[in-house]
A and B are shown apart, each in its own frame.
Chain A
Amino acid sequence: MFKILQKTLSTGIVTVNYPASPAKISERFRGRPSFDFDKWKDARPAAEACPTGAISLSDEGDSRKVTVDYSLCVFCGLCADASSDQGVRITQEFALATSDRRSLVITAEYTLNADRTHRRLHKVDRQLVNAETDLESLGQKARETIQKILGRSLAIREVDAGSCNGCELEIVALNNPVHDIERFGIQFVASPRHADMLLVTGPVTRNMELALLKTYRAMAEPKIVVAVGACGISGGIFGENYASLGGVDKVLPVDVYIPGCPPRPQALLHGILLVVGRLAEKLHDERVG
């Protein structure tokens, strides 16, 4: 007993203060690849290297449309390695959660030189918004909203609908003393009946489809669905095949998407806090409607 107490006291407080203060992450961390479309002279090497097809090209005559889809990105950094120009750069951005999957897609149109490199950039269609809410105040807001509508607690039911277990490792890490998600009044629960939020990792396999649906149906309204990781959003590297249905929104209505492979704990936390705002909206709609 004394030993336990001594150990606890000598360890002290290890919990980080994210999101109130910025996340301390290694400069080696590979976050969102950023594209400087003006400087990007050739998209082919990056598209060729990308293991999941997150960067795709369609050429027609002397014009090229480049599509960057962050919902497929596994943050491997091969696109930046493969590009010899200044077009692709790996950033440390990780807070990429969004309620609109379309905002994860950027397209750019180029006219091409004879050697198929880019001559001129025509237009960039970009909806990517980094954080829909001011990150600093997100934690505070979440706490207030949870307190108001849920009486101090947001209950999450996690379902692995077919993942490789990578996302689960990071979700479990949310509960360690360093990330300690319970400081926000957020907890993981055993039963969907107790849950306000369904946190789903994917891809959704044919064999998990029914279990996922049943879990969702067992939850009380209002309920929120969050799709986690490249596979949860789009099927990721597995995509759609005889055994995999692809992303969670093939089966359930999804409120928030959290990109990553897997998303780091802070990225998950950012997404979950984002949801709390959405939950307030849903509750409001229900009362009005």
Chain B
Amino acid sequence: MFEALRQKFGRQVQSMRADREDEIYLLLGGPDIRPITEHLCGEFGARLVMVFAEDRRAIEGVFFNYYVFEQKGSAQYLIVRAPVRADSLEFPSVSADLPSVNWQEREIQDWFGLKAVGHPNPRRVALHDNWPDVYPLRKDFPLKTVLPPFEGERHIYRPALGEGVFQVPVGPVHAGIIEPGHFNFAVAGEPILYLQLRMFYTHKGTEKLFEKLPTHKAVFLAESISGDSSFSHGTAFCQAIERAAGMEVPLRGLVMRTVLLELERICNHVGDIGAIANDVGFVIANAHASRLKETMVTLNEQLTGSRLLRGMVCVGGVRRGWNQAQLDTLRTAVDSFEQEFRGLISLIDSSESTRDRLEQTGILRPDKARDLGIVGVGGRASGVDLDVRRDHPYAAYSRYSFRVPAYQAGDVWHRMQVRLDEVNESIGIIRKAMDESLQGEFRVPVPAIPSDRCALSAVEGWRGEIIHWIRTGPDNHLQRCKIKDPSLNNWPALVEAVQGNIIADFPVINKSFNLSYSGTDR
């Protein structure tokens, strides 16, 4: 492959190295990625997974942009590393052709002060407009900088003009108990013409903070990236460290991680199924769903000491093993959950009016979903058949067979169907995992982690593809930790899905994606 790329692109491709079997790095001579993206995404049908930057001025004199690609049918990630000169600060944007990285390129602009030349919408995304010109992820920006009081507009929304067209601002404080973000609807009567989003209200310097914490403490920061995905993000982070250190986690630890990842999926999916029903007025279904969720959260606590599965995953495995009593509890709980869950679904299926409200509501068309790079539940309901568990197996997933549900309809009903199918698959995975011998070591000691190792780690959280990329530093610290929550990809899907729907259906459409604000904002 390297030879093929070199022949095609000449000196532009400088070198290639495989840090791991499934993690290949390609170094470019300059910042221009466009011929590569055209070639890989066009001819090879590769997917541009993410884009991020790193400030290497102190060591290598330049910034680097990283472009992560994957190709259907291959477990490898190809990571193209392109230098951006510290004097010009410019790199060519690929967002016009690949809108999936629109926000990510703008993040690079906001956080590193680089310029995405040719970006179709180069406005700020990660910092609000009232922030001064600061570049928090540059190495010369101290974490504890105290910025002066902000002045001016937070965001200039595009005007929506025309007879009978109104703009409805909502948030950042919402009516329910949810996270903050601002939605600006342009409506003509009831239908929504256009939705503008203003996110990053909960930006709290997480990526910068990762550079200041020793790795064993940073695990807890990873668990706080998005509270409902504590175990997925925690696992993604620990995997990254383990990969950088070349550690092998014992099978028992991997199997336990798999069980807990699936429990996290079940808890969130059943909660969402109830919440979707609730948002179209089927309150009793939600009462049963939230009761079921509570029983699973209680199980979480019996298995890990935390209702959110916190404090369990660690670098090298998991912190505690399970005794026979806990395994029996798990087995019984899963059995009775399965039965109750079936009852919940038949309750929802028996309600024609619920189905009527959810079908054809909030449609995300498969072509839009593919172009916008939508991942996870929202993607699979719109034909984007991606699942890290199957495509890039981690933990113990390669040992179990499971089905990845995918539909083409892309409406709220099918986003609920994906969850429903996945809950059933998760139950199957947990049962298979419990048939393994859960004996022996569940964690290994952490060796001294060499400095300057890069590692990419991916986890299919219950929302979708979570990616952590790290560069290790001296003294058990990190030089860089890039976090990509699936929500970052998926917010633009909401903008597409709500168009033409009535504003009263916005809550249920939003709920059917249930994206993380904190995971997006970090």
Q: What 1/0 mask marks residues of chain B from 220 to 232 whose CB sits below 8 Å from any chain A CB?
A: 1100111110100
Chain B proximity of A1: nearest CB distance (Å):
9
Pair A241/B143 contact, Cβ less than 8 Å: yes
Q: Is B4 an interface residue (CB 8 A)?
A: no
Contact A162 B227 (CB under 8 A): no
Residue B298, interface by CB 8 Å? yes
Query: CA–CA, A231 to B310, complex, Å?
Result: 15
Q: Does A137 contact B (CB under 8 A)?
A: no
**Residue-wise interface mask of B (111-144) relative to A, using a CB-CB cutoff of 8 A (1 in contact, 0 not):** 0000000000000000010010010100001111
B288 sits at the interface (CB 8 A): yes
- Which residues of chain B have C-beta atoms less than 8 A from A188's C-beta? 177
Would you list which residues of chain A between 225 and 271 have a CB under 8 Å from chain B?
231, 236-238, 240-244, 261-262, 264
Say yes or no for A22: interface residue by CB 8 A criterion: no
Smallest CB-CB separation from B267: which chain A residue?
A169
Q: With contacts A81-B319, A164-B226 known, is A208 near B180, CB below 8 A?
A: yes
- B300-324, CB < 8 A from A: 301-308, 310-311, 319
Docked pose: A231 CA to B55 CA in angstroms: 29
Which residues of chain B have C-beta atoms less than 8 A from A45's C-beta? none
| Option from B128, B294, B301 in Cβ contact (under 8 Å) with A173 | B294
Is the beta-carbon distance between B176 and A190 smaller than 8 angstroms? yes
CB closest residue in chain A, given B301: A26
List CB contacts (< 8 Å) of A151-203 with chain B. 158-173, 175-179, 188, 190-192, 203
Residues of A within 8 A of B208 (CB): 241-242
Which chain B residues in 276-290 approach chain A with CB under 8 Å? 284, 287-288, 290
Query: In this assembly, does B516 line the interface, its C-beta being within 8 Å of a C-beta of chain A?
Result: yes
Q: Do the beta carbons of B204 and A160 come within 8 Å of each other?
A: no
Q: Which of B195-203, B239-247, B252-260, B466-474 contacts A (4 or more CB under 8 A)?
A: B195-203
Question: How many whole Å from B294's CB to the nearest CB in chain A?
Answer: 5
Contact A167 B227 (CB under 8 A): yes
Bound Cα distance A261, B311 (Å): 10
CB pair B294 A165 closer than 8 Å: no
- Residues on B with C-beta less than 8 A from A203 are 204
Q: Chain A 4-33 against B: per-residue CB contact (8 Å), 1 yes, 0 no? A: 100110010010000000000110111000
Taking a contact as CB atoms under 8 Å apart, the answer to whether B518 and A165 are in contact is yes
A220 at interface by CB-CB < 8 Å = no
Interface residue from B206, B302, B311 paired with A76 (Cβ < 8 Å): B311
> Nearest Cβ in chain A — how far from B260, in angstroms?
13
Q: Which residue of B lies closest to A30 (CB)?
A: B305
CB of B161 closer than 8 Å to a CB of A: no
B224 pairs with A178, CB closer than 8 A:
no
Q: Does B72 contact A (CB under 8 A)?
A: no
Stretch from B26-34, B145-153, B363-371 that touches the partner:
B145-153
Note all chain B residues with C-beta closer than 8 A to A206: 131, 147, 150, 203
Cβ B204 vs Cβ A238 within 8 A: yes
Residues of B within 8 A of A176 (CB): 287, 290-291, 293-294
- Report Cα–Cα, A250/B397, bound state, in Å: 45
Contact B302 A28 (CB under 8 A): yes
A165 / chain B contacts, CB cutoff of 8 Å: 179, 226-228, 516-518
Q: Does B343 contact A (CB under 8 A)?
A: yes
A226 CB → nearest B CB, Å: 14
**CB of B178 closer than 8 Å to a CB of A:** yes
Inter-chain contact A51/B220, CB cutoff 8 Å: yes
Query: Which residue of A has the minimal Cβ distance to B203?
Result: A243
Q: How large is the interface on B (under 10, 10 to 19, 20 to 34, 35 or more residues)?
A: 35 or more
A208 B201 Cβ-Cβ under 8 A: yes
Known: A26-B298, A165-B179. A244 touches B201 (CB 8 A): no
Query: What's the Cα separation between A178 and B292 when bound, in Å?
Result: 10
Contact of A28 among B144, B304, B308 (CB under 8 A): B304
Cα distance, A169 to B518, chains bound together (Å):
13
Find the A residue at minimum CB distance from B206.
A238
B46 interface contact, C-beta 8 A: no
Interface presence of B175 (CB below 8 A): yes
Residue from B202, B205, B228, B517 in contact with A241 in the complex, judged by beta carbons closer than 8 Å? B205
- Verify B301–A207 contact, CB threshold 8 A: no
Interface readout for B333-359 with A: 1 if CB under 8 Å, 0 if not?
000000000010011001000000000
Residues of A within 8 A of B146 (CB): 242
Bound form: Cα–Cα A14–B294 in Å:
11
A163 to B287, CA, bound (A): 25
Known A176-B291, A177-B290, A211-B173; contact A168-B305, beta-carbon cutoff 8 A = no
Closest Cβ of chain B to A205, distance in Å, is 5
Q: Which residues of A contact B310 (CB under 8 A)?
A: 74, 76, 166, 261
Residues of A within 8 A of B311 (CB): 30, 74-78
Say yes or no for B217: interface residue by CB 8 A criterion.
yes
CB B261 to nearest CB in A, in angstroms, measures 17
CA of A49 to CA of B154, assembled, Å = 40
- Residue of A75, A171, A240, A244 with highest tally of chain B CB at under 10 A: A244
Scan A24-68; emit 1 where CB is below 8 A from any B CB, else 0: 011011100000000000000000010110000000000000000
Whether, in the assembled complex, A287 has its beta carbon less than 8 Å from a beta carbon of chain B, the answer is no
Q: Which chain B residues lie closer than 8 Å to A158 at the CB level?
A: 177
Partner of A163, one of B227, B307, B319, B326: B227
Residues of B within 8 A of A74 (CB): 220, 310-311
User: Hey, which chain B residues are within 8 Å of A52, CB to CB?
Assistant: 217, 220
> Which residues of chain A have C-beta atoms less than 8 A from B177's C-beta?
158, 160, 168, 171-172, 175, 188
- Hey, what's the 0/1 contact readout for B511-522 against A, CB within 8 Å counting as 1? 000001110000
Question: Which residues of chain A come closer than 8 Å to B308, judged between CB atoms?
Answer: 166, 169, 262
Residue of A nearest to B516 (CB): A165
CB neighbours (8 Å) of B136 from chain A are: 242-243
Closest B residue, CB atoms, query A230: B224
Contacts of B131 in A (CB 8 A): 206
For the complex formed, measure the closest distance between the CB of A11 and the CB atoms of chain B, giving whole angstroms: 7
Q: Which residue of A lies closest to B136 (CB)?
A: A242
B294 contacts A242, C-beta separation under 8 Å: no
CB neighbours (8 Å) of B206 from chain A are: 238
A168 to B177, CA, bound (A): 7
Interface residue B297 (Cβ < 8 Å from any Cβ of A): yes
Looking at the assembled complex, report how far the CB atom of B218 sits from the nearest CB atom of chain A, in whole angstroms: 8
Pull 25 A–B residue pairs with CB atoms less than 8 Å apart, ordered by A: A7-B288, A26-B302, A29-B301, A51-B219, A81-B319, A160-B179, A162-B518, A164-B226, A165-B226, A166-B224, A166-B230, A168-B227, A176-B291, A179-B294, A190-B175, A207-B200, A207-B202, A208-B201, A211-B173, A238-B206, A241-B209, A242-B147, A243-B136, A262-B227, A264-B307
- 4 tightest A-B CB contacts, nearest first: A166-B227, A190-B175, A176-B290, A51-B217
| Known contacts A159-B173, A192-B173, A262-B227; 5 further A-B pairs (Cβ under 8 A) | A76-B311, A160-B179, A211-B173, A242-B205, A243-B205
Residues of B within 8 A of A (CB): 128, 131, 134, 136, 141-147, 150, 154, 172-173, 175-180, 200-206, 208-209, 213, 216-217, 219-221, 224-228, 230, 284, 287-288, 290-291, 293-294, 297-298, 301-308, 310-311, 319, 326, 343, 346-347, 350, 516-518
